[in-house]
Each structure stands twice: as structure tokens, then as C-alpha cells.
Structure 1
């Protein structure tokens, strides 16, 4: 008997965000600074994946793309958001995604530059807000 195929639902993005928040809760803080950058970086990486999962699910649920057609790069996600998910032509959602990509994935996860508690919490709030905008 094989393993069941994973189902990707709106709950998947929220599950990733809960995992990211759990990583932060377990991290030691002193003087409003996370003492260990590793769980903070993991939390940023996980929250960025939550955003991608939310976008994927929105595209699939709206019947705009199939799993095989989903974007494979950050530029692909920006083009797809602009084409399929932006309600206005101002590009606000694309700018929000780009900002979150830079903060969560590049500064937070890849480079490990964000470890002050207020900055980390604000980035997580912004990720939550973006996911709620995108999910159907």
C-alpha cells in the first residue's frame, strides 16, 4: 500500500504559517533579539513557502492554472499574480509579494539579516495579511 498523495488546500498555507510561528515561539529572546538565528531563518523560509502555497491554491481553485502550470520562479510568480490575481492594474499585490520575497526569503531566510523581535513579528504579520488576501 503506497503513501497517500498530499492534498494542497488553503489549510496547507495556514499550516505552514502556524509551523513558522511555532519555530519563533520556541526561540530564545534576550533584549528584543532572537539569540539563535537558525529557528528564525527556518521560520522565514517556512512563511515564504506558506505564501507560495496560498498563491498556488488560489490559482488552482479559480481554475486558472493546473499543478503542472504553476510558476517555478519568483519572476514567474510575479507575472502570474499580475495576470491572474491582481484586482486592479496598479500592481499592488505584485509589489506586496515582491516586498515579502525580499524580506522573508532573501533578508530573513537566505541572508539571516532579520533577528530583532519587532521586525520578525511585523514580517510574519505581513505574510499572514498577504495570505488572507490571496486565499479564496
Structure 2
């Protein structure tokens, strides 16, 4: 997606760009064989990028719902507490994405292609909320 210099991306477009970057890192650098990624460094990088897309989506969603009362959440607990009151399906997606991308992908550097792909697909589902 080409960006014009005078027009900033919408939050949805920015999240989409992060997701695309994550997929590119996995495709070009992580190396896939027999359902496992070969280079954990790039899995961690891609998982962190995709998780950042999820946070962008959540910030925009909360901004739309809370309006002038919106403040950026400071923790995963803050996100989950606020989503619990607004949308249980989005909350469930966040919990999954947190486990798949933030914990398994970014912190533990999982080699599981399935875990990371599930996380990316869940972030893609989150996009429909904004």
C-alpha cells in the first residue's frame, strides 16, 4: 500500500501495515520447514510487530467507544478490564493474541508456525472492530 506524504494513515491502515510487515518478516527471514520457523529472532520480531498492530486496533476501538474520556491503557489488565465492559468477543481475541503473539511469539520465541499464524489471523479479525 503506497502512502502519500501529505495524508497520514488511518489507524486501520496503520494496523494493516504492521500486519503486512510481520508477514513479510516471517516470509522473507524466519525460514519455514516442517511446520516450524528456523530463525527465532525473526519470529520474535514479527510477533512483536503483529502484537503492536493489535494494540493500535484496541486503542482506536476504545477511543471510538470512550470518546473524550479515552486514555491510553497502561497494561494488558487495563485493556482487558475495559473490553470486558464493551465487547466480550473482542476481549476473547485479545486474550488469544496476547498468548499467541506476545507471550509465545515475542517472549518465548516459539518456532510453531501454527501458533504465530493463528495469532496473525486473530489480529486480522480484530481489524473489523474499527
Greater helix proportion: 2
Which runs of 5 or more structure 2 residues have no equivalent in the other structure? 1-5
The 2-side partners of 1:98 and 1:118 are apart by: 17
Kindly report the root-mean-square deviation, in angstroms, between the aligned alpha carbons of the 2 structures.
Answer: 2.3
The 2-side partners of 1:111 and 1:44 are apart by: 10
Which runs of 5 or more structure 1 residues have no equivalent in the other structure? none
| Structure 2 partner of 1:71 | 73
Q: 1:108 aligns with which of 105, 110, 129?
A: 105
Shift of 1:31: 2.4
Q: 2:17 aligns with which of 15, 18, 24?
A: 15
The 2-side partners of 1:79 and 1:57 are apart by: 16
The 1-side partners of 2:122 and 2:12 are apart by: 17
TM-score by length of 2: 0.81
Contact 2:36–2:112 (8 Å) recurs in 1: yes
| Structure 2 partner of 1:97 | 94
Aligned in 2, Cα 1:11/1:55: closer, same or farther, shift over 3 Å? same
Q: Output one character per residue of 1:12-63: Cα deviation in whole Å (capped at 9) or x when no partner.
A: 1111111111111112222232110011111111111101101111222x26
Shift of 1:64: 1.3
Q: 1:123 aligns with which of 104, 116, 119?
A: 119
Aligned in 2, Cα 1:94/1:63: closer, same or farther, shift over 3 Å? closer
Q: 1:28 aligns with which of 26, 31, 37?
A: 31
For 1:69, what is the secondary structure of its paired residue? coil
TM-score by length of 1: 0.77
